[in-house]
Amino acid sequence: MLSDLVPVTLQTGPSLLHRTTHEPSRAQRASWVAVADDELVAFASAYFYWYGGEVGNGRIWVGVRPDRRGDGIGSALWDLCAGHLADAEKLTVEVDDDPAGLRFVEQRGFTRYDAEVMSRLVLDDAELAVEPKEGFRVVPLADLRSREGDLYEFYGAAGGLPTGDPENRVIFDDWRPFILGNPLLEFEGSVVVLDENDRVAALSWLLVDHARRRAENEWTATLPELRGRGLARLAKVAAIRWAAQRGLTEILTGNDPDNAPMRKLNRSLGYRELYTRLDLERNQTISGMPDTDEV
């Protein structure tokens, strides 16, 4: 059901279970489902966002199957989520290409604060031209299983570990099981670029749902001092080639609207921008929101 509600994000049963069981305890995640006539018709999840280095940011996601909207299911699940996050300083939500969902949260006092451009690469359309880079080599993530500490340090240096409240920062023991333990992370198809000193210089990792022949870019990044040399293209092309050779049909990704270099790179490789996912927030001091039900 989640694949239908959010078609540009990879989710499977094992990945949902992993997310719930491998987050730090401070996340306090809780999830609910709605079942009607022995069919799953809705899913909701609420947790404290721990990966952004923040304190007090409660995040909610509620999805209702289109044919069951308007029955009060969305409002009931929302109330459960909001109650679970009653101690949050603010609430945040994501809304994909869903006008009804956007109305639902705007009527509850949410306003936009960020966004993400969602894109899809159809692998048959991929442009795979890339120039070799002297002094750099591409290896599968599988070759670096013994260098988890180096990968964690790269995440920090390349901006993958947001800074914030020192008491809430993402430490290695948080990062390792959550990122490297994800059952969708493909260790052979994800690639790392090493420099001549064997230092991690860039990477492009894939999450893969082999059953549905789909992939998602987990992250693509380069050390700040090495950007502009084509290392991100080198890494992405290697990952795309791996996916195409194994019969996958598409790769999904999301980018900050202001990340012009990555968006340009993606377009040059054949990615097509689909829509903008909106991030909205509401201060928890707001009360008296109307009890409408749009989803």
Closest to 180 in 3D by CA, of 219, 235, 135 = 219
173-188, pLDDT tens digit by residue? 999 999 999 999 999 9
What is the fold, at CATH topology level, of the domain defined by 121-276?
Answer: Aminopeptidase (3.40.630)
d(CA 222, CA 281): 30
User: β-strands 90-95, 250-255: how paired?
Assistant: unpaired
- Is residue 288's pLDDT more than 70? no
Could you tell me the pLDDT band of residue 55, with boundaries at 50, 70 and 90?
A: confident
- Is residue 273's pLDDT more than 60? yes
167 vs 246, which has greater pLDDT?
246
Query: Would you state the pLDDT for residue 128?
Result: 78
- Cα angle: 38, vertex 39, 41; to 5 degrees: 135
Query: Would you state the pLDDT for residue 125?
Result: 65
In the sheet that holds 30-36, the strands lie side by side as: 30-36, 39-48, 57-64, 90-95, 272-283, 111-122, 250-255, 214-222, 200-209, 191-195, 136-140
Query: Would you state the pLDDT for residue 126?
Result: 63
Query: Would you state the pLDDT for residue 197?
Result: 97
Query: Would you state the pLDDT for residue 293?
Result: 46
d(CA 15, CA 131): 35
- Is residue 36's pLDDT more than 60? yes
| Token pair listed for 79 | 């109330």
Closest to 235 in 3D by CA, of 254, 227, 52 = 227
CATH 3.40.630.30 boundaries in the chain: 2-115+278-283, 121-276
- Is residue 265's pLDDT more than 70? yes
* Residue 264 CB contacts under 8 Å (≥ 6 apart), including other chains: none
CATH class of the region 2-115+278-283? alpha beta
Query: Would you state the pLDDT for residue 81?
Result: 98
Write down the mean pLDDT value for the chain: 92
Q: Please tell me the least confidently modeled range out of 9-13, 91-95, 109-113.
A: 9-13
Q: Please tell me the least confidently modeled range out of 148-157, 236-245, 284-293.
A: 284-293
d(CA 152, CA 161): 9
Say what the pTM is: 0.91
**What torsion do the CA atoms of 265, 269, 270, 272 make, to the nearest 10 degrees?**
-20
- Is residue 287's pLDDT more than 60? no
Q: Please tell me the least confidently modeled range out of 12-16, 108-112, 138-142, 276-280.
A: 12-16
Average pLDDT over residues 209-222: 97
- Cα angle: 17, vertex 18, 24; to 5 degrees: 115
